[in-house]
Structure 1
């Protein structure tokens, strides 16, 4: 069985360690813990590994967040991965910082990456791992907040929460979305 895990983020040093790139942070941790490296391929950086007889593809799109659907769709088609085996890791302003939730469908909630995926796939019925970045910004400052760097305190806590996100990805690939939501969404 094949699984495609897509971490949303923007390429370029100026976006490293920003809230909008938490999808990249999660995938980087998974790659490191599985001793695999990302290689530049079409539409993104890809790392591959096996986990409990499953082939897992990690994708960090190089299309920028707003065009993530193009990269996701390309790799789904190329590797013949069904939508049920796709998981998108995304930052979420609506969740408190560090909260991690798995959903199997839903709207884009104003997130341009999810909107791109929804428009490309023609459905909102795909799994996403929502990683809470909080909403501690004043009116009109949302873009600055999302593209802003983590505070030292947030960064320290982020590393702990990324471990939980990695556990959710493993569970998604082994026990499925339903059981994973039951096991992790109330923690």
Structure 2
């Protein structure tokens, strides 16, 4: 049977845009998802950059790249599931992460409870996650900076395990800036994928499901 092709009418275009099948962004930007780390080649694949690694996984899942420099961060807008989000990797270095995230939250009028932060946790083994609705900085300088800028501890976070120090006498800065072993990298990759999936659940309002499914 011969196929009949027809031109797309204006109503067809409206339906495509409404359904989201045209590949555009839809709705108001309502969430910020920020992964923490340090910029620069020397810090790539270090423990302290677990947040950056997660953001790269999430961006890959969304079919986008963090290629815009805005708010002192590598950014892009993306549909995470059906939610329009700003994805961020602050380029301010870890201790000033709040400068970038606070500026973006102010610009888009995003409340703290809709700012999801993803970062490294040295109390968890590689491959483990911990999701919380809020909490203290727990000694993490990036989170201290964000709390100072947002004026509250009440923002959700995903903590990605990067491994405990092999000896308590080990220098903390040296440890978090060290690179993962091959064995640790193998354990970490599924955690990055799970963290990206958890972010999807959280922005659509299913943080309880994310905690039940992915908390170690």
Name the SS of the counterpart of 1:91 in structure 2: strand
Matches within 5 A, 1:83-162: 83-138=112-167, 139-162=169-192
Matches within 5 A, 1:1-187: 2-38=30-66, 39-138=68-167, 139-185=169-215, 187=216
Distance 2:46 2:187 in 1: 14
Q: 1:174 to 1:58 in 2, by over 3 A?
A: same
Distance 1:58 1:42 in 2: 12
Of residues 154-163 and 57-66 in structure 1, the stretch that sits farther from structure 2 once superposed is 154-163
The root-mean-square deviation of aligned C-alpha atoms, in Å, is 1.4
Deviation per CA, 1:111-156, whole angstroms, max 9, x where unpaired?
1001111122221111110111121332132211100011111112
The ranges of structure 1 where at least 4 consecutive aligned residues each deviate by more than 3 angstroms after the TM superposition are: none
Distance 1:133 1:76 in 2: 28
Greater RCO between the two (CA within 8 Å, min separation 6)? 1
Report the TM-score, using the length of structure 1 for normalisation: 0.93
1:80, distance to aligned residue in structure 2 (A): 1.8
Deviation per CA, 1:74-124, whole angstroms, max 9, x where unpaired?
111111222121110010112222211111111111110011111222211
Distance 1:6 1:19 in 2: 16
Deviation per CA, 1:39-76, whole angstroms, max 9, x where unpaired?
22231000211134310111000111100111111111
Distance 1:129 1:151 in 2: 22
Distance 1:95 1:15 in 2: 20
Report the TM-score, using the length of structure 2 for normalisation: 0.81
Instruction: Specify every segment of 5 or more residues in structure 2 that has no aligned partner in the other structure, as ranges.
Output: 1-27
| Greater Rg by CA | 2
Distance 1:148 1:23 in 2: 15
Name the SS of the counterpart of 1:5 in structure 2: strand
Name the SS of the counterpart of 1:90 in structure 2: strand
Name the SS of the counterpart of 1:71 in structure 2: helix
Query: Size of the alignment, in residue pairs?
Result: 186
